[in-house]
Structure 1
Amino acid sequence: MNKLASIIIAAVLAIALLGGLAAMIGGGLLGTIVFIIGIPLAFPMSTSIVVLFFAAIIIRTVLQKRRERREMRAFLRDNDQD
């Protein structure tokens, strides 16, 4: 009887711990989503500046890669003609 009671108690505690862990993870994910949605609403000017900063970096990188590709094609074309 003691073994059965200890197994049941261990199972209940394990379920409670796993449920608590799931609640923490779920709460963390929910908090993250609310944070990501809430920051632009709370600080629209700061968020706009950050978004523009990263957009400028991304656009600059894309344009630089295109220019490098174009220069490489021109270089290879010039070498093929020789």
Structure 2
Amino acid sequence: MKTSITDGLMENELSEQEKLRRTVSRELNEAMVARKVSKADLARALETSRSNITQILKGDRNFTVDTLSRIAEAIGMTVTISFKKNTGARRQ
């Protein structure tokens, strides 16, 4: 139950953050398939568990720009980020 306007805003922010995380995860998955890199290969390259990689690739785990950069490097790619004007609801 929402108790304030702030709670509602936080839910919207999380929703947008989740959408972004899932978009990035989807693009990572597509890049890995194209480059024929397995989750196990990526886990070894990043010195982390396959479980952690799976959570990132499912969009279930929040990750830093540093981690994203390391993943891109491990699969032989670079990261490009662009910002676009939000055409949705405006905050006041």
Measured against the shorter chain, the TM-score band is: 0.3 to 0.5
> Which of the pair has the greater relative contact order for Cα pairs under 8 Å at 6+ separation?
2
TM-score by length of 1: 0.39
More helix, by proportion: 1
Largest Rg, 1 or 2: 1
TM-score by length of 2: 0.35
